[in-house]
Amino acid sequence: MRHVHGWSASTKRKLKSDNASAAQREPHSCTSMADHKDNIDDFKVQTAKHPNMGPAPLRPHSEQSRDRASKRLSTESNGTSEGGSSTPVEVTALEESFRRFAIHGDTRATGKEMHGKNWSKLCKDCGVIDGKNVTLTDVDIVFSKVKKKSSRTIVFDEFKVALGELARKKYKEKPGEEAEAEVFKLIEGKGPIIAGVTRAVASPTVSRLTDTTKFTGSHKERFDDTGRGKGKAGRVDIVDTSGYVSGYKHQGSYEKKVTKPTVGKPM
């Protein structure tokens, strides 16, 4: 009986502690149920206002990241931001020619800025410099005029301003817009001319080293009198297997004497 009474007392203490904890959780549970009810009421109101609105299906994280990457690439290719504030940029033939000359001779160039050296090459290769109305000095002066004071390059907008200055000097008899259009036509679709850049420069030293008539020793045997190489015969001793001794000058004459034309005898 004493054991049963002890067990009953411990059970009573446990039940009492459970009731106390339940009483502490009751306000929180009531609050959470009230919040849940309010959320349901709000959802019903939104559903009544927008009958077609439904829960959006959850998509895998990989598909979402792929969509963001494709959207970024499309906006970069069209020249627009993600907000769609700017208009698509179309690269004109004049801008493409500017980019070709801007990256000429510089592997680190981005094509957005042009140095004075490439600017002079563009005016020369495209025929803007004629030696009369537009000279190389005029080109350098215009470049220094349109560029920023602390900069050594020009951008595309400054490039067009510089072409406008040269157009008015080159076509004095035409209005400003027509003159600019004529200069633009000279440049559109053009690229830097690189013909003859790797041409070898003749020098006395190189000519002396390549003159085969002055070669001596075994090197002399590799070329004939005209300076043309003999090939393998000039590099390797070829063994004569004809059967004649060296220095014999009548090689092949015996066959000519023995071989006689056959004449038909009368029957």
- Confidence category of residue 32, pLDDT binned at 50, 70, 90: low
Residue with tokens 């439904």: 54
Residue with tokens 């013909």: 195
Higher pLDDT, 78 or 134: 134
Integer Cα distance of 262 and 181 in angstroms: 88
pLDDT value of residue 146: 93
- Confidence category of residue 219, pLDDT binned at 50, 70, 90: confident
What is the pLDDT averaged over residues 252-257? Answer: 78
CA atoms within 13 A on the CB side of 171: 17
Nearest to 154 by CA among 189, 123, 190, 188: 123
What is the pLDDT averaged over residues 213-239? Answer: 81
| Phi, psi (rounded to 5 degrees) for 43 | -65, -40
pLDDT value of residue 21: 55
Beta carbons within 10 angstroms of residue 117's beta carbon: 13
User: How many helices (H) does the chain have, and how many strands (E)?
Assistant: 9, 2
CA atoms within 13 A on the CB side of 25: 6
Contact between residue 121 and residue 127 where contact means Cβ atoms under 8 Å apart? no
Joined together, the tokens standing for residue 2 give: 């004493």
Return the bridge partners of 154, or none. 114
pLDDT value of residue 165: 92
Beta carbons within 10 angstroms of residue 49's beta carbon: 8
pLDDT value of residue 231: 83
**Please, what's the b/e burial string for 213-251 (b: 16 or more CB within 10 A of its CB; e: otherwise)?**
eeeeeeeeeeeeeeeeeeeeeeeeeeeeeeeeeeeeeee
pLDDT value of residue 263: 59
Joined together, the tokens standing for residue 61 give: 């994280």
Element at 114 (helix H, strand E): strand 114-115
pLDDT value of residue 205: 75
Mean pLDDT of the chain: 74
